[in-house]
Structure 1
Amino acid sequence: MAHWHGVSDTRVMPPVIRIDRKIGWLNPRLGVGLAAWLIAGLASTASWASDADALALADQALEPAAARSDWQIFTEGMLGQVNQRAPLDDIRISRASVDVLLDTAINPDWRLTLANRVDWLGQDGQYEVVNTFKEGYVSWQAQPNAALDLGRINLRNGVALGYNPTDYFKVGALRSVVSIAPASLRENRLGVGMLRGQWVWEGGAVNAVFAPKLANRRQNAAFSPDWGASNSVSRYLLTSSVQVLPGFAPQFLLLGEQGQSPQLGMNASILAGDALTLYAEYSGGRSAALLLAAPALLPAAPVSWHSRLAAGGTHTFANNLSLSLEYHYDGEALNQSQWRALWLNPADYWAYRSAVFHAQSLPTQQAAMSFVSWRDAGVKALDLNWMLRRDLVDQSWQSWLEARYHFERIDWALQWQYQNGAPGSQYGALPQRHSLQAVVKYFF
């Protein structure tokens, strides 16, 4: 089961973190204090620069060219407060994280990629540790235009920002939710054990993936690789991209999964002007509705064709501000009457929401999202991000705002989250009303 940190994902069911594993061999207050002291000392030596410079020092115009590092490592600390709906008390939360990426050449034909993240999560004096083994695979460049990969790979498909119907390997991939930002949810998750073949040519590409079943059920142990979450059934995925017109190369997907009919998918994007990009992704196939998670309400759901869609566009303005608007649809989710009826049975309601969170899907059939990103927002190195999600079935909504300042090797961020809606709605049913987090991130 995934772990969340008070300020949960937009689709999280339960109220607060589950503390399953206390850290007996470490004093968390002392550890967090030492980490904060170390980061503060490092920050005092940081110089003014952009985040891009922190991640790619070789690109600095005034510095001599440096070799690309095989390692990317950062640590992150967070302190926050969660305001809950009455009669629940407010919650103090904290987090310390270490994220490591190794991407290195073994020889001219072989590469090794490893990615892992550890989160120490705290809530009102209780602590737990969650490890996410994101990737670990070897790549063989068999020919200049052909390659094979074997191991755990975080394969991300889809062109939309807030909801990805063709991101088939997202199901069950979250172990620890540290941010509801879409990029964080796609990056900080388990990869899938697979064999992947790739073949590219001028104007097109073909990928073939086979992901075998490796375990029957999820494992909650702190440092478990959790193959039951990523590889509980055998799957295959075929994708093909072909350039139809200059600047337009749609991608077609075919997913096969043990016990389910094949699913068809398509991704497409096009530059509609100097500053406007339009995009859409679609997935469809025969499947049972997600309401199967509420067996008392619907003992047997018929298998029928269901469509899932995300469509939108991004406009970039001259001042480095970009605005994205999206529409989301999931035919497997509940319509208005089904959603209202489900709320009458709390056990079925939360079982359904747990299944939706596990699938990273939509609880109701229609939603909308806007995302505003402003780089150098009036001040160099200051970025502002604002996300607004709205459920178009129950009219509840959620807002997330971030201000982030970049130094050469350190980021300081302040994040605020607010959710509102009627009782039983997607966002109104969650116990968290709003939260505030202060985050510091150091790049080695």
Structure 2
Amino acid sequence: MISLSPAAPRIAKLTALSVGVAFLATACGGTSTPSSTETTTAPQGAISCPAGAGAGASTSAAAAPTGAVPPSTTTTDTPLKLGSLLPTTGNLAYLGPPEIAGVNLGVQEVNAAGGVLGKPVEVIHRDSGDTKTDIATQSTTALLGQGVSAVIGAASSSVSKTVIGQITGAGVLHFSPANTSPDFTTWDDKGLYWRTAPSDVVQGKVLGNYIAACGAQTVGMIVLNDAYGTGLQKNVKEAFEGAGGKVVEEQLYNTGDSQFSAQVDKVIAAKPDAIALITFDEAKSIIPLLTGKGIKPTQLFLVDGNTSDYSKDFQPGTLKGAQGTQPGTFAKEDFKKSLQAIDPALKDYNYAGESYDAVNLIALASEAAKSTKGADIAKQLKAVSEVGEKCNTFASCVTLLRNGKDIDYDGQSGPVTFSDAGDPTEAYIGIYQYDDTNKPQPVKEEFGKL
């Protein structure tokens, strides 16, 4: 288990994280467990980091007693109405389908169990676009105009920053399944901003230490110049250099850029052992430039913004051996089947679990608050995620609530427990390795606490 320090006060808590390098090394080099003082030297430009097929930690929670869900003792004249602000266009559009499917599956299951406070839950979907456009602001205005209690989204931290004031200023709950910027931890959000995705402090430290454990002594980075990219860059760099490595080149690009040759050439010229790509969909253009100039896929380390299925984008074998990290647990087969029933075209499952959990947590907090007002729901989110009887579906959890029990919801994304700032205090980071069809395959889950 990764050992991360206990939570500190809201403003300072994220500065005290530490990640065990020795444990990460086991995921990278087979079954042996080197001590934290051991080092591995890789030849210049060639990291050998085979990852065995790991089973991953179990995150299943004990379900509540089965049977008919008891009716709510409180009914509402105003049904719980959710808005989704998720990408169907822009540089994160590939994340939209799994997130939207997760939201729809959650709403479907909540309504199959009788809804919230005696009424079916409603959901309205709107596109978030990206920071090149004003789509998010327009979509948010439309959602608020339709009286939503909560907005689920955006996927991009930078996009959420453009609308968080608009949402929370209206007294509406803002709940992202995919924002990872550490900036939100201390945001003046009136207690209305929450997320099921962990801060990049966790993923950055895991990835930085993992690259070092794989034998790299030097790293080059190509980074999206926004809140997500530079925040993750900072934490990967701190962890990698803290483990004894050196970042030899860092190249930024901006949203909307389509030419990356200059950044690629400068990174390659620094002759790093490994290259970290902290990008979104631009990886489709960057990866061929790197491999075309002799960079081996085993030198590439991806992140949640681009650890995707590239089987239709590249020639077979292009990414074989490349690795990536993704917050959250590996999607379980039964959950994948349920999502595919919602959207048969799904090929990625990134943040589907976090989106599904967002719906369940909002619905359960609404039940606990006996209200569909955003501010009332926000006040109950922490309570339904900790110190109670374990449950992992809306039906099982709401049964416990309606029987007067305290609940601790653990979801598809892992054991969800919130801090006062609305951040998950514990999270899994999945490590994936690409096969010869350019699809990421799950290898190992690393668990950490804030």
State the TM-score, normalizing by the size of structure 1: 0.25
Query: Taking CA–CA contacts closer than 8 Å with sequence separation of 6 or more, which of the two structures ends up with the larger relative contact order?
Result: 2
Structure with greater helix percent: 2
Q: TM-score, normalised by structure 2?
A: 0.25
